[in-house]
Homo-oligomer: A and B are copies of this chain.
Amino acid sequence: MKTHHRLLLTGAAGGLGTALRERLKANCTVLRLSDKSAFGEALPGEEIVLADLANAVEVDAMVAGCDAIVHLGGISVEAPFEAILQANILGVYHLYEAARKHGVKRVVFASSNHVTGFYKQSETITADHPARPDSYYGVSKAFGEDFSRFYFDRYGIETACVRIGSSFPEPRDRRMLATWLSFDDLHRLISACLSTPVLGHSIVFGMSDNAVTWWDNSRARHIGYVPQDSSDVFREAVFARTPAPDLNDPAAIYQGGGFVKATP
């Protein structure tokens, strides 16, 4: 359903942005694409507004005229803190300030499982478990969740914080049997966030209907996300090409996987 007229997609040139570009046209009349650097021409039904998230003026122009935002922009891996500070912390401030000024009332914010990466792989967590970030990146996503909560409580801007697991064409390793989110399910989840009548400020884990999982989305039922893919069809292949985990390795102990020992 085309629930919005002009929908902004940030981080449009990245992996997930590319996967969503075609799919999100179903949700809007005009899809505005944005990224930091030029990435080609707008196709029919699209428009492109480049912006550096650390630049308030550019972000303001990027947001002006939009009805809703899918915010994938910023840094999505571990990186030096100063870089993350600009893109993911200052950038979030700029984005929400622009939303506030221009009356945008709904945002889908790409958060991450790395907000809670220091929980164990044998634990089930909900959105109410306290943050245990596993990286500067994870801390910056926790910041985004708290910041958007503030703008909801203060200004009524609704946000879905989607803690994306591992969104790739298929699961790459055994950990991703739990964390995998197909591109189609990612789109289904974003569509649900955009179209549910009342969103509020919500945290939802972004995963497909995998048999193995560590996350409980029962506090986000009002969003209406129903995944239709599953990592299970890839299970045997993944087992065949990957070694058994070393259970003494923090990357196997904790949900964050390799992030829990990454250095930027």
Which chain B residues lie closer than 8 Å to A133 at the CB level? 146-147, 149-150
Assuming A3-B239, A147-B139, is B225 touching A211 (CB within 8 A)? yes
Q: Which of B138, B147, B216, B239 contacts A218 (CB 8 A)?
A: B216
Which positions 58-83 of chain A face chain B at CB distance < 8 Å?
81
A150 close to B134 (CB less than 8 A): yes
CA of A125 to CA of B147, assembled, Å: 20
- Enumerate chain B residues within 8 angstroms of A192, measured Cβ to Cβ: 211
Q: Which residues of B contact A105 (CB under 8 A)?
A: 247
Contacts of A210 in B (CB 8 A): 224
Q: A158 at the A/B interface (Cβ < 8 Å)? A: yes
Report B-chain residues with C-beta under 8 Å of the C-beta of A241. Answer: none
Would you list which residues of chain A between 121 and 180 have a CB under 8 Å from chain B?
121-124, 127-128, 130-136, 138-139, 142-143, 146-147, 149-150, 153-154, 156, 158, 174-175, 177-178
A14 within 8 A of B: no
Cross-interface CB contact of A153 among B89, B134, B154, B220, cutoff 8 Å: B134
A3-B239, A156-B247, A211-B192 as given contacts; A197 in contact with B177, CB under 8 Å: yes
B-contact 0/1 string along A229-245, CB 8 Å cutoff: 00010011001000011
Do B153 and A118 have beta carbons less than 8 Å apart? yes
B-side contacts of A118, CB under 8 Å? 149-150, 153-154
Binds B, one of A16-24, A28-36, A41-49, A198-206: A198-206
The reply to whether the CB of A219 lies closer than 8 angstroms to some CB of chain B is yes
Knowing A130-B128, A174-B197, A198-B247 are in contact, say whether A214-B218 is a contact too (CB < 8 A). Answer: no
Give every chain B residue within 8 A of A143 (Cβ-Cβ): 89, 139, 142-143, 146
Residues of B within 8 A of A175 (CB): 197
A residues engaging B (CB < 8 A)?
1, 3, 81, 85, 89-90, 93, 105, 118, 120-124, 127-128, 130-136, 138-139, 142-143, 146-147, 149-150, 153-154, 156, 158, 174-175, 177-178, 192, 195-202, 210-216, 218-226, 232, 235-236, 239, 244-245, 247-248, 252-253, 260
Nearest 6 Cβ contacts at the A-B interface: A122-B200, A212-B224, A211-B224, A121-B198, A118-B153, A174-B197
